[in-house]
Amino acid sequence: MTQVREYRSLRDAFGQFATGVTVVTTVDERGNPIGLTANSFASVSLDPALVSWCVDKSSTRFKEFAEAEFYTISVLTDEQKDLSNLFASRSWDDTVFDDVEWQAGLNQVPQLPGCMARFHCKTEHVYEGGDHLIIVGSVLEYETDEGSPLLFVQGDYQTL
pLDDT of 44 reads 98
pLDDT of 5 reads 64
Q: Tell me the C-alpha distance between 84 and 93, whole Å.
A: 14
Residue 130, sorted as left (phi over 0), alpha (psi -120 to 50) or beta, turns out to be left
pLDDT of 58 reads 93
pLDDT of 14 reads 86
Spell out the per-residue pLDDT of the chain, length 160, in tens. Answer: 566 666 788 888 888 999 999 999 999 999 999 999 999 999 999 999 999 999 999 999 999 999 999 999 999 999 999 999 999 998 888 899 999 999 999 999 999 999 999 999 999 999 999 999 999 999 999 999 999 999 999 999 998 8
Q: Residue 143 burial by CB count (10 A; 0-12/13-18/19+): exposed, middle or buried?
A: middle
Within 13 A of 155's CA, how many CA atoms are on the CB side? Answer: 6
pLDDT of 3 reads 64
- Hey, what domains does the chain have and what are their CATH numbers? 20-41+60-120+142-154 (2.30.110.10)
pLDDT of 138 reads 98
160 and 148 in contact (C-beta within 8 Å)?
A: yes
Instruction: Report yes or no on whether pTM surpasses 0.75.
Output: yes
Please tell me what DSSP assigns to residue 105.
-
C-alpha 152 chain-centroid distance: 13
Per DSSP, the three-state class of 64 is helix
DSSP letter string, 140-154: EEEEE----BEEEET
